[in-house]
Amino acid sequence: MNNNLSVCIMAGGVGQRFWPRSRESNPKQLINIIGDKPLITQTAERHFDKISPEKIFVITTKSQAEDISAALESVPKENIIAEPYGRNTAPCIGLVCALLAAKDPGTVLAVVSSDHWIPDVDVYLRTICDAAEVAVQEKALVTLGISPSFPETGYGYILAGEKINFSGETVFSKVEKFVEKPDKEKAEKLIKAGNAFWNAGMFVFQVAEMLNAFQKYMPDFYKGLIKIRDAAGNGNIETVIEEVYLIAPKISIDYAIMEKAENVIVGRCDFNWDDVGSWSSVSAHWPKDKNNNVIRGNVVTVDSSNCVIENTGKGVVGLVGVDDIVVVQTGDELLVCRKDKDQDVKKLVDKLKADPDLEKYTV
């Protein structure tokens, strides 16, 4: 395994689809949506068998930094990096690369999300470590691909080409093409083709290689990254970051770098993975009662099945004769949602935000 492997946990989102549990002040990654610990805590701890907490970094917003630090006791406070503004994933990953390059441009970095569910820790860690080896061996940017289990239209896809010669267990291939979120028909075709993976937004690369890619594909922003690298450890580092971010473009790492770079490799993930996209995904990973209901908190049901019910309020929730719905009660806020419409919780949050009297319930 690569002793120079660090992890960067990206934790900038709010997770509107998990309203009312997720709020601007209490985002998805800080909630124990699945399991008994917040998702970000589970994410960090997932690495501890192979990667020490000192090598785990988090990039987040200023407003979340303190709560995240509290949720990650063993991760050093200075490893929690706060972006001055949200600028999508390209500037975010660039910033971490610049800061790490100041110490050691040979560092290999695994970039992962703070709010995904990955129960098979051993296989996951093996994959990350294999990817680190391949990234160095091939001087490549490695992206991790999930074998699609159904024609999901909410993810981008990665088409794998020629296999990479690698002695480890994980299978790596050259990336033939990135495919944007397809419609259902196209998704079905992609799955049939057999060489398609879901783009799960997990990347492994040597920091120097990623900075080379920034130089090539985002040359203006790269100049800013060099300023940051050179200011790292100085008293004015925050000001420099602020200046660079003020003019940084809002763009994803996929659009800005991965889809353009020449030496991109995809590693096949042989572990269970869920991006925990909305309340119904919770059904798949929580224990259920005999009527297939997922129940948390004081809940009593009569003739109700296939529901997800979470009561974190002080009182009691009673269900009578309902099926396939999500009920989330905090006491102050309540969500009742058809399970297959749970993506639209975002619309509800948008409606609340647009109402001066109700906006407070989203903050």
* Contact footprint for a second copy (CB under 8 A): 19-20, 298, 300, 302-303, 311, 313-322, 325, 327, 329-338, 340-342, 344-345, 347-348, 351-352, 355, 357-358, 361
- Closest of 110, 71, 62, 108 to residue 245, by C-alpha: 62
Minimum CB distance to a second copy, residue 111 (Å): 32
Q: Specify whether the CB–CB gap between 133 and 166 falls below 8 A.
A: yes
Minimum CB distance to a second copy, residue 362 (Å): 9
CB atoms within 10 A of CB 37: 14
Nearer to a second copy, 143 or 362 (CB): 362
> Alpha-carbon distance 283 to 355, whole Å?
31
Nearer to a second copy, 136 or 327 (CB): 327
Nearer to a second copy, 269 or 325 (CB): 325
Nearer to a second copy, 168 or 313 (CB): 313
Minimum CB distance to a second copy, residue 103 (Å): 47
- Which residues is 173 bridged to in the sheet? 163, 266
CB atoms within 10 A of CB 175: 26
Give the type of residue at 328: V
Give the strand pairing for 172-179 and 264-269.
Answer: antiparallel
Give the type of residue at 161: G
Structure-token pair, residue 271: 């572990």
Minimum CB distance to a second copy, residue 182 (Å): 24
Minimum CB distance to a second copy, residue 300 (Å): 5
Nearer to a second copy, 169 or 340 (CB): 340
Nearer to a second copy, 281 or 329 (CB): 329
Peptide bond into 119 cis (omega under 30): no
Q: What is the per-residue DSSP string for 59-120?
A: EEEHHHHHHHHHH-TTS-GGGEEEESS---HHHHHHHHHHHHHHH-TT-EEEEEESS-B---
> Alpha-carbon distance 172 to 352, whole Å?
45
Minimum CB distance to a second copy, residue 343 (Å): 9
Minimum CB distance to a second copy, residue 319 (Å): 5
Nearer to a second copy, 42 or 362 (CB): 362
Q: Specify whether the CB–CB gap between 226 and 217 falls below 8 A.
A: no
